[in-house]
Structure 1
Amino acid sequence: MLIYKVLRAEEWADLASTGQIAGAPVDLADGFIHFSTADQVAETLAKHFAGAADLVICACHTDDLGADLKWEPSRGGALFPHLYRALRLKEVRWQEGLVMAGGQHVLPDRVE
């Protein structure tokens, strides 16, 4: 199953150059890296990244993240994937910059 991490361009650049990232400031504060499923990512964008430009969506397969990936209740009790370690560049299956249309982020067609 693919899950998704939204990064700001500078966070993606850090991941691409160093090979791993401990996460965005919210991830560091919470002690884990926040991911979303395909069904959750649009709401995540609207709630936490409204109007933000220069975002990158990264797709990771749950099998690649191993036992450090935990499914925990969050918004409305829904289970969200949380990674309790750094994300490694080699675990990113694909990444793509997000575009805005009508004031909203447009998800790539390959978000499944």
Structure 2
Amino acid sequence: MLIYKIFRAPEWAELEQAGQTRGAPVDLADGYIHFSTAAQARETAAKHFAGEDGLILAAIEAGALGDDLTWEPSRGGQLFPHLYRPLRRAEVLWSKDLPLVQGRHDFPEEMA
């Protein structure tokens, strides 16, 4: 199963340069990296990245993250994937721009 992380451009650049990341400021504050499923990603973008352009969407195979990935209740009681260690660049299967089109993020067809 693929899970997704939305990165701001500087966060993505840091991952590319360092080869790993502990995530965005919210991830650092919470002590884990927040991910979303395909069904949750659009709502995550609308809620936490409203109006932001220049974002990158990264896809990661959940099973490859091992026991450091846990599923915990969050928004509306839904289970969200949380990673309790740094994400390594090598674990990202693909990344794509997540442009803002007419006020909404335009997700790739793979997530339809």
- Deviations along 1:51-93, whole A, 9 cap, x unmatched? 0111000000011111000000000100000000000000000
Secondary structure at the counterpart of residue 111 of structure 2: coil
% identity of equivalent residues: 59
The Cα RMSD (Å) is 0.8
1:64 maps to 64
Matches within 5 A, 1:32-111: 32-111=32-111
| C-alpha separation in 2, matches of 1:98 and 1:44 | 13
Runs of 4 or more above 4 Å deviation: none
Give the distance between the partners of 1:86 and 1:78, measured in 2 at CA: 23
Distance 1:74 1:63 in 2: 20
CA distance in 1, matches of 2:62, 2:40: 15
- Distance in 2, Cα, partners of 1:63 & 1:15: 21
* Inter-partner Cα distance in structure 2 for 1:85 and 1:109: 29
Cα displacement (A) at 1:111: 2.1
Shift of 1:101: 1.3
Unaligned runs of 5+ in 2: none
- Alignment match, 1:28: 28
Report the TM-score, using the length of structure 2 for normalisation.
Answer: 0.98
CA distance in 2 between counterparts of 1:106 and 1:43 reads 12
Q: Using structure 1 for the length normalisation, give the TM-score.
A: 0.98
| Structure 1 residue runs without a partner (length 5+) | none
Q: Give the number of aligned pairs.
A: 112
Separation (CA, whole Å) in 1 of partners of 2:10 and 2:40: 23
SS at match of 1:50: coil
Q: Secondary structure at the match of 1:57?
A: strand
